[in-house]
């Protein structure tokens, strides 16, 4: 989630939904390494929950993890990066659910849509010292995928994303060559999905 240019292999545990815990985390990183150059806001997710019966507590937790937590982390990181000569860069991990909602994830869909707007807002406010961008993955292959073969046929690139595809996009946005890119939302989805009307048989109409 948070890293410095000095590769150390450190692993620090933090509940990113807790602003005070996030402040302590960032402070600890700066004390240990002297600076903070890159933040990848990758925490997120949601269980399936029907919108009609989803509890207020679950809805709040989903929004807290997928929208408020990235804000808390970015806010703490920005306070450090603004004081550095070279500034810093923040990358939020979005979701295609912000543009193409799926049933059972209404709070998640809304939170990820909010994250896309938040990314652009922070990029506007924190430039030129701090660049804020978003990477929006498509479907990513994970262990135990049982649906992959059928889904891959709907993706123009013919396969699901690998985790390394998403990591490469993040590295690109954090590289010096991307120094003029901020407020961008980079879709890494293999071209999206083939529209449903292109997959149905000829109706004769």
Which residues are identified as catalytic?
Answer: 108
CB within 8 Å of 115: residues ≥ 6 apart: 66, 67, 70, 92, 94, 98, 134
Cα angle for residues 97, 100, 101 (degrees, 5° grid): 65
Whether 205 and 114 have beta carbons less than 8 Å apart is answered as: no
For residue 135, what is the DSSP state? E
For residue 178, what is the DSSP state? G
CA distance 113 to 25: 27
The length of the chain is 205
Cβ count near 58 (within 10 Å): 14
Q: Phi and psi of 86, rounded to 5°? A: -95, 5
């Amino acid at each position: 989630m948070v890293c410095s240019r000095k590769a150390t292999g450190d692993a620090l545990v933090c509940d990113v939904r807790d602003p005070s815990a996030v402040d302590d985390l960032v402070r600890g990183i700066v004390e240990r390494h002297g600076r903070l150059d890159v933040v990848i806001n990758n925490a997120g997710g949601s269980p399936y929950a029907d919108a009609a019966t989803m509890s207020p507590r679950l809805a709040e937790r989903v929004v807290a993890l997928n929208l408020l937590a990235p804000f808390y982390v970015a806010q703490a990181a920005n306070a450090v990066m603004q004081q550095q000569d070279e500034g810093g860069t923040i990358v939020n991990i979005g979701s295609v659910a912000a543009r193409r909602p799926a049933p059972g994830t209404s709070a998640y869909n809304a939170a990820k849509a909010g994250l896309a707007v938040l990314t652009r807002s922070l990029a506007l406010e924190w430039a030129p010292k701090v660049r804020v961008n978003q990477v929006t993955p498509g479907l990513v292959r994970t262990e135990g995928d049982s649906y992959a073969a059928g889904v891959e046929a709907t993706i123009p690139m013919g396969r699901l994303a690998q985790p390394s595809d998403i990591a490469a996009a993040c590295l690109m946005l954090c590289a010096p060559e991307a120094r003029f890119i901020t407020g961008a939302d980079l879709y890494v989805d293999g071209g999206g999905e083939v529209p449903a009307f292109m997959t149905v048989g000829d109706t004769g109409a």
